[in-house]
Amino acid sequence: MQRILYISLCLLYCSLAAHSQERVKGRVIDALTRQALPNVTIQAGGTGSLTDASGRFAVHCPPGTDSLKASCIGYAACCVRVSGDDEYTFIMEPLAGKLGEIIVSAGRQRQYRTDAPIAISTLNAQTLKETKATSLEQVLNKVSGVYMVDLGNEQHTLAIRQPIGYKSLFLYLEDGLPIRTVGDFNHNALIEINMAALQRIEVIRGPASSLYGSEAVGGAVNFLTAQPTPVTTGKIQAEMSDGGYKRTDFNLSGTKGKLGVWFGGYYADQRNGKIDHSDFHKLALTLKTQYKFNERATWTNTATFVDYKTDQTGGVDSSNFYARNYKSMHTFSYRLVKAFRFRSTLEQQWSDRDQTSFSVFYRHNEIGQNPFYAIKTTSNPLKARGEINSDAFQSGGLLMQHRKRFGWKGASVTAGLSADYSPATYHADYIDVDRDAKGNFVGYTRTDSVLTDYKVDLVNSALYVQGEMNPFKNMKLIAALRYDRMDYRFDNYLPPSAFTGAPDERNHYQAWTPKLGLTYDFGHGRGLYANYSVGFAPPNISELYRGVKVPTLKPATYRNYEIGGWMTFAGRKGHAEASLYRMDGKNEIISVRLADNSTENRNAGETKHSGVEWSVRYDILPSLQIRTGGTYARHDFVEFEDKGTSYNGNRMNTAPEWITNSEVNWKPAFVNGLRLGMEWQHVGSYFMDPGNTARYGGYDLFNARAGYRLGSFECWVNCRNLFDVTYATTAEKSAFGASYRPGPVRTFNFGVAYTFTAKQ
């Protein structure tokens, strides 16, 4: 009887204690993106809770609790007072450039940056918001080891652990899926990105083929798009430059019940710019819906449309370049892009140890152009020849992935498969080009001669697996392996005598690409990593078939060896990262410039790429931050012979040794909402030709930015090329002569924006 009475009293006490605690609910959102923050720790007195995938929490407040505290790695902690409300909202400010940030590209899943044994950098929402970039190189060039070449009007090419070139050595991803089909690479592919829809960019330097397949050799760039916000938000902004550029951005987002929606885009237009023949316009739109069946199942659908057209200016010779005479020799060349992408992804969290995602996707793309680079001179000084072409594809495919966690030494396995079918076509008509006495290309006549007309049925299929474990305390070991197979079915509609006269063929390429890496955390914000990885790049379909009689190109393979590390400064005022790599290429595909200014693709027997990359961030004062990063690299021909000339031991052309980017940002405490920044971009000298007979001296470029935010309003002014220097974004030499691609002259951009958040 006494035992029953004792148990009853204990139950009564526990019941009274539980009722004396107040249960409060709320949500946590990002101050910049207004999106939900999961896994945030909420503390109330001696109790705590974590936010779920929707950023919501529920916690019991012990008697006498007067405040709630929210804390999360990568964000400034914040508090709210307990005042008897039914629900509380935390708005957390992100901390720029912290080592503890979460990434998703290294293993196709959320993980801490310090758990990834690769060189990876993140451009977060704050960087994107404050840079106010009008083209992607203005943000991507902030990443150490990256040089994105500005070719004007969002046209570009990329160099990561590679010389400046136009080959399929980089993979562009949108939320983890390639934006174009593998095998139909275009160095201008990022024209097809909706910049207004970006929330974050993650850049992997070095081969990532073990997860993402072919083309991810020099690196992979993953563009992560905005998620629907838990509260209704919207933004509209307008900007213009003194060089004829105008742009309008907008977005609207919100969640009602289980359905969240994000819609936004931008329209950009340029007329009568400072460089001749440089008009363009672009419309980009993205719609994303996210339906949460429950806390474990989410269905996401995303559609993006891009309509783009630009004039093409081309390069100028040395006399016009240094005289700053940027009058274009081309008066009719253009590029037209129409792109549509759709994906549908279902994610299911079966348990704390099992997670599956399934995606289906469709892509339709067409690039039509009258390209300046296809215009070739003839023996008649008043005549030239060129082409009008169209390169198009559509593709459908799927990606399946499952992750299994085990209870032993933190082990997990991620496995997946992907497949897509992508029929592609290429058509080119010959044009007769007229020149004036000054050498300008002033007009053309379309002929009935067809240069290229083919179809390629391209099938990509792959399997991959990645395992992780902690064999010892503070050590993580990662091993990955992927198998890719690419099948080309080439049907040529022209006879062997045509410019593209290759016979109908069936070609296939396959590769196993492994990766082995480890990280070791010494504690106190210090650690090391090492990895060995292999990259694989088969010939692109246009490289393999266009303009050839017999396909001869071989697939290129790369072996990468890398070590790196990180450290946090005392007082957590900043951090530094560094990586040292060597990458050996075999059968690397390069472009050789011919005497008539055309190019031809060749396999270089062996190449060697080695260098060091670094980045440093430091808060001199709470309001004053400096950042610097860069690379010193050498790119050499080990074995390369062209038309009887050996280039063994030569430096590869268009390969700067030094590339650095540094920045200082000041947000004075005495003027709340003001930000000031200065950026210095340095590109060192490099050889302009494989023979190493001419060198371009490189350049130093300064950009300045200023902005002011007052409540929901924001205004800014950016100055590009502050000191109005003469520089070339790329310079090449051939038997035809030297060609310089002029960089933009000093340009001012002015903008205003209004952001609203509904009170819900």
CATH code, domain carrying 326:
2.40.170.20
User: Above 90 in pLDDT, residue 83?
Assistant: no
Is residue 82 within 8 A of residue 71, CB to CB? The reply is no
Task: Summarize pLDDT for 462-505 with one digit per residue, the tens.
Answer: 999 999 999 998 999 999 999 999 999 999 999 998 999 999 99
Task: Summarize pLDDT for 1-31 with one digit per residue, the tens.
Answer: 455 555 454 444 444 344 445 778 888 888 7
Burial of 80 (0-12, 13-18, 19+ CB in 10 A): middle
Q: Does residue 137 lie in a domain region?
A: no
pLDDT-derived band at 233 (thresholds 50, 70, 90) equals very high
User: Above 90 in pLDDT, residue 368?
Assistant: yes
At residue 42, the 3 state secondary structure works out as: strand
Is residue 308 within 8 A of residue 191, CB to CB? The reply is yes
**Averaged pLDDT of the chain:** 89
Give all strands of the β-sheet with 170-174 in edge-to-edge order. 119-123, 198-205, 219-225, 170-174, 177-178
At residue 471, the 3 state secondary structure works out as: coil
User: Above 60 in pLDDT, residue 598?
Assistant: no
Domain boundary among 92, 125, 143: 92
Q: What is the percent of the chain where pLDDT is above 70?
A: 94
pLDDT-derived band at 599 (thresholds 50, 70, 90) equals low
Higher pLDDT among residues 497 and 339, named by residue: 339
Residue carrying structure tokens 């083929």: 209
Choose the weakest-confidence range: 37-46, 182-191, 376-385, 455-464: 37-46
- What global pTM score does this model have? 0.91
Q: How far apart are CA 337 and CA 368, in angstroms?
A: 7
User: What is the mean predicted confidence (pLDDT) over 419-430?
Assistant: 96
Q: How far apart are CA 265 and CA 250, in angstroms?
A: 6
pLDDT-derived band at 314 (thresholds 50, 70, 90) equals confident
Distance of CA 316 to the CA centre of its chain: 29
Task: Summarize pLDDT for 382-411 with one digit per residue, the tens.
Answer: 999 999 999 999 999 999 999 999 989 889
Who's near 518: CB < 8 A, 6+ residues apart?
117, 475, 476, 477, 478, 529, 530, 531
User: Above 50 in pLDDT, residue 346?
Assistant: yes
Q: Does residue 262 lie in a domain region?
A: yes
Q: How far apart are CA 74 and CA 571, in angstroms?
A: 15
Q: Does residue 517 lie in a domain region?
A: yes
Can you give the pLDDT at residue 521? Answer: 92
At residue 324, the 3 state secondary structure works out as: coil
Distance of CA 6 to the CA centre of its chain: 65
Q: Does residue 261 lie in a domain region?
A: yes
Higher pLDDT among residues 285 and 60, named by residue: 285
Can you give the pLDDT at residue 417? Answer: 96
Strand partners, 288: 262, 302
Domain boundary among 52, 71, 92: 92
Q: Does residue 154 lie in a domain region?
A: no
User: What is the mean predicted confidence (pLDDT) over 445-469?
Assistant: 95
Q: Which of 500, 398, 508 is nearest to 455 (CA)?
A: 500
Taken in order 603, 172, 220, 692, the sign of the CA dihedral is positive
User: What is the mean predicted confidence (pLDDT) over 280-288?
Assistant: 98
Strand partners, 344: 301, 360
Q: Does residue 172 lie in a domain region?
A: no
Q: Which of 272, 148, 137, 202 is nearest to 720 (CA)?
A: 137
Distance of CA 737 to the CA centre of its chain: 34
Residue carrying structure tokens 């200023």: 706
Can you give the pLDDT at residue 571? Answer: 76
Q: Which of 514, 652, 515, 517 is nearest to 579 (CA)?
A: 517
Can you give the pLDDT at residue 577? Answer: 95
Who's near 102: CB < 8 A, 6+ residues apart?
73, 74, 110, 111, 112, 113
Q: Does residue 24 lie in a domain region?
A: yes
Is residue 171 within 8 A of residue 216, CB to CB? The reply is yes
Task: Summarize pLDDT for 251-263 with one digit per residue, the tens.
Answer: 999 999 999 999 9
- Cβ of 4: how many Cβ atoms within 10 Å? 8
Who's near 1: CB < 8 A, 6+ residues apart?
none
Q: Please give the angle made by the CA atoms of 200, 172 and 304, to the nearest 5 degrees.
A: 70
User: What is the mean predicted confidence (pLDDT) over 360-375?
Assistant: 94
Can you give the pLDDT at residue 668? Answer: 94
Q: Which of 77, 60, 134, 71 is nearest to 716 (CA)?
A: 134
Residue 489: domain span: 222-227+250-313+320-757
Is residue 451 within 8 A of residue 429, CB to CB? The reply is yes
- CATH code assigned at 85: 2.60.40.1120
Which tokens belong to 588? 């690397």
Count of structural domains, the chain: 2
Q: How far apart are CA 187 and CA 189, in angstroms?
A: 6
Q: Does residue 142 lie in a domain region?
A: no
Q: How far apart are CA 428 and CA 545, in angstroms?
A: 13
Domain boundary among 52, 68, 92: 92
Burial of 81 (0-12, 13-18, 19+ CB in 10 A): exposed
Higher pLDDT among residues 40 and 702, named by residue: 702
Is residue 479 within 8 A of residue 466, CB to CB? The reply is yes
Can you give the pLDDT at residue 54? Answer: 75
User: What is the mean predicted confidence (pLDDT) over 549-572?
Assistant: 88
Can you give the pLDDT at residue 351? Answer: 92
